[in-house]
Amino acid sequence: MQPRKKSSARAHNGAENAKTTKRKVCRDTTAAAPGPTKDDVSGSTPQKKRKTARRAASVEESKFAPGSEHASVSRDFGAHRRHSRKRNPPTCCVVLTHCPLYMYRDKKRHASPALLNIDEHNYLLTALPASSASDGPGLPFLGKLQAQLKDVSPAFPRGSGNGYQHISRRGMADASEAARARALTLSEDRRTLLEAAMRSDVVHQCLLSVLDSLVVSQLRTNTPHFVSEQESTSAGREGVKDDKQKSDGAVPHPDEPNNRESESGEQSLPGSVKTSSSPGESKAPGLKFDLLLHTMDGKLLRVSTSFRVPRSFKIFKKVFAMALSSPTGKLKSNSGGDSGQKESRRHGWGGAEHKEDESTSAQSEGQGEQDEGETLIEVLQPPFSRHLPREFRPMCLSGSRHAPKVPLRSFLGELRQSDPQENLVFFISASPYLDAAAVPSSLFPPSPLPTTTTVAGTPRPLSVSQGPGSSQEKEDTSGGPGDAEDISCNVKDAVSSLSRQNGEPPRDGKDDKGVHARKGAVVLGISNFPTSSSVRCDRVMHELAHYLPHQTPS
C-alpha cells in the first residue's frame, strides 16, 4: 500500500505546483497592465460600467475640445455636408435676341420654303422701295416683324442726384432709350427691316463663337482644359507669395486677388468666394449652360450644347430650315453622336486625347444608340419666361456709346463674390441693326418695381411707365454721354451701384402673377470701339471659361 501513497502524493504535489505557476503568471500580467482602482474593485458591476462609460466620455470630450484637430475636422465635415445639401450650381444662359431666322417661300422661284437670306433673296430688296407708304411686293411677314419691334421692353428709369451711381444709371437709361428709338425707327422703314431680316449669317457666326468655345467643349466632354503658360506662371507666383505669408504668420488682405489653383485642380478667381474653410468647399461651383435664340418674328429656340454648328453657311441654312419647318418643332440627331465623339478637339489638347480600346468603343457605341433621339434644336412654346432661370440677373451687352464701360471679367468676379449662386442671363443682339438693350417684352417677365429708390442718399419715387418723353427723363441733361465711360475707374462701386438700381426681387422667387422674377437689369458696354455680335459672344464665353476647372499641362 505504500507505493500507492507515494503516487498520490506526487500527483498532489504536481497540482500544487501548477496552481503556483498560474498565480505567478497572473501576477506578472496584472503588474504589466494598469489594474483597476480600489473604487472599481470595491464597487459593484453596474458602478464599474458607469465609471468606465464616464471615463470614455471624458476622453472623447478632450479629443473634440475647441482648438483640437479632431474638432476642426468634424466641424468642417459637418459644414460641408450641410452646405452640399443646399448648394445648387448656378445657371448661365446666353440669349441671342433679334435673330433673323425666318422661313420664306417664293412659289415662283422655290418649291419649298427656305431660310430668308441675302444671298438667295436679294431680288426682294430691289423690288421693295424704302418708303413705308408703298407696299411694294406682297410681304405679309413684315407686319409681324414690325409688331415685334414695337413690343420691346420700356426704357430704364433715369436716376437723379450727383455722384458715381447717378452716372452709371444715367448711362444705362441713355443706352436703353437709344436702343428703343432705333427699334421703332427700323419698324417704320420696310426696306431696311427686310434687309435686317436677311442677315441670318450673323446668327451663324454667333453660334460658331458660342458652341465652339472652351466652356461648351468642356461641358460636352467633361474634361478639364489646359491652363496657359502665363496663367500657370502667375498662379505659381501667387502660391509662393501665399506660402511666404503663411510662414511669416501674416494674414492676406481680403481684397487681394488670389489666382492660386486649388488642390482639386480648380482655379480660384478674384471674384470667387470660399464659403467654408474645408477642402470640399474650396471647389468652384458647377455651371449649367443654356443657349436660347429669340427670332425677329417672336419665336424662341433652344439649341443644345451637343449641336455641331456646320462650318458652311449653305449647310447651316438647310439645318435650320429643317428645324423651323419640323411638324414637331424639334430637330433630333439621327447619327447617335458618333461623329461628335470621334471629332478631334480644337482647343489645344488634341494630343492628350486617349486612344479607345475595344471596351471603350463598345461603351461609346451603346451611348450613341441611347442618344440617337437627342434633341438638338427645339422650338419652345410661350410663355417664354418659364424657360429662363429663376431670379436671374439680365445683363445686356450693348454696343451703344451711352452704355457704361465696365471690364467684363472684373464685373463678373464681383457679382460672384456678392452672390456665388446667382443666375446670369446675357442678352446679345444677333442683328447688326438692333441693340441688345432693346429686349423683347416677352423675355422680360414683369417684376414689381420699388415705390422709392435711393440714389445718392435721396429717396425718389419711380414710375413704371416712363417713356422717352417723360418729364423725369428730361431733368438731367447736363454732362455728355462720355461721362459714362468714367465708370471703369472702380469696378466694385459699379457692382454695388448697378446691383441696387432696378429694385430687389421678391423673396419667394415669384411675383404676384406667379412668373419667374428677375433682378435689376444691367446694360454694359464691354468695349470703347464698335464690336460685332460674334465678338461679344466670344468675349462672354471666354470669361465664363475662368469658372471651370482646369489642369496644368504635363
Q: Reply yes or no on whether the pLDDT at 344 is more than 90.
A: no
Residues comprising the chain, all counted: 554
Sequential DSSP letters for 477-518: --S-GGGGGGGGG-HHHHHHHHTTSS-PPPTTSB-TTSSBPB
CA angle 322, 323, 328 (to 5 degrees): 110
187 touches 118 (CB < 8 A):
no
In this structure, what are the phi and psi dihedrals at residue 457, rounded to the nearest 5 degrees? 80, 5
Return the axis-axis angle of helices 141-150 and 190-197, rounded to nearest 10°: 90
Band (pLDDT 50/70/90 cuts) for residue 24 is low
The grid cell for 369 is 444608340
Please state, in angstroms and rounded to a whole number, the distance separating the CA atoms of residues 387 and 100.
21
Query: Is the pTM higher than 0.75?
Result: no
Q: Reply yes or no on whether the pLDDT at 259 is more than 70.
A: no
Over range 238-253, report the average pLDDT: 48
- Computed on alpha carbons and rounded to an integer, the radius of gyration of the chain in Å comes to 35
Please state, in angstroms and rounded to a whole number, the distance separating the CA atoms of residues 431 and 399.
11
- Residue 222: the pLDDT is 72
In this prediction, what percent of the chain has a pLDDT beyond 70? 49
Eight-state DSSP code of residue 299: -
Q: Reply yes or no on whether the pLDDT at 261 is more than 60.
A: no
91 touches 421 (CB < 8 A):
no
Domains of the chain: 91-103+110-129+142-223+288-333+372-444+483-551 (3.40.1280.10)
Q: Which is more confident, 230 or 431?
A: 431
Return the axis-axis angle of helices 164-188 and 491-498, rounded to nearest 10°: 70
Mean pLDDT of the residues in the chain: 67
- Residue 113: the pLDDT is 84
Please state, in angstroms and rounded to a whole number, the distance separating the CA atoms of residues 536 and 526.
8
Q: Cell 500527483 identifies what position?
A: 11
Nearest-CA neighbor of 116 among 196, 192, 185, 186?
Answer: 196
Eight-state DSSP code of residue 250: P
Residue 344 carries which side chain, given as an amino acid letter?
S
Q: Which is more confident, 68 or 383?
A: 383
Over range 265-278, report the average pLDDT: 37
pLDDT in tens, 435-471: 999 988 887 655 544 433 333 333 333 333 333 333 3
Residues in Cβ contact with 334 at an 8 Å cutoff, skipping those fewer than 6 apart: 372
Please state, in angstroms and rounded to a whole number, the distance separating the CA atoms of residues 532 and 199.
13
Nearest-CA neighbor of 330 among 372, 298, 367, 373?
Answer: 373
Residue 30 carries which side chain, given as an amino acid letter?
T
Q: Between the ranges 15-29, 71-85, 527-541, where is the mean pLDDT highest?
A: 527-541
Residues in Cβ contact with 192 at an 8 Å cutoff, skipping those fewer than 6 apart: 130, 186, 433
Q: Reply yes or no on whether the pLDDT at 250 is more than 50.
A: no
Nearest-CA neighbor of 495 among 181, 165, 182, 196?
Answer: 165
Neighbours of 183 (CB within 10 A): 22
Please state, in angstroms and rounded to a whole number, the distance separating the CA atoms of residues 541 and 393.
17
> Any idea which of 123-132, 264-273, 357-366, 498-507 has the lowest mean pLDDT?
264-273
pLDDT in tens, 280-298: 333 334 678 899 999 999 9
- Residue 89: the pLDDT is 75
Rounded to a whole number of angstroms, the distance between the first and last alpha carbons of the chain is: 96
Please state, in angstroms and rounded to a whole number, the distance separating the CA atoms of residues 245 and 249.
6
Please state, in angstroms and rounded to a whole number, the distance separating the CA atoms of residues 62 and 60.
5
Q: Residue ranges of the alpha helices (H) in 253-354?
A: 313-324, 338-342
- Residue 414: the pLDDT is 84
> Any idea which of 85-94, 181-190, 394-403, 538-547 has the lowest mean pLDDT?
85-94
- Residue 206: the pLDDT is 96
Q: Where are the beta strands (DSSP E) in 37-126?
A: 91-99, 103-104, 114-115
Neighbours of 401 (CB within 10 A): 17
The SS3 assignment for 378 reads strand
Please state, in angstroms and rounded to a whole number, the distance separating the CA atoms of residues 291 and 540.
13
- Residue 461: the pLDDT is 37
For residue 383, cis peptide bond before it (omega within 30 degrees of 0) = yes
Band (pLDDT 50/70/90 cuts) for residue 263 is very low
Eight-state DSSP code of residue 256: S
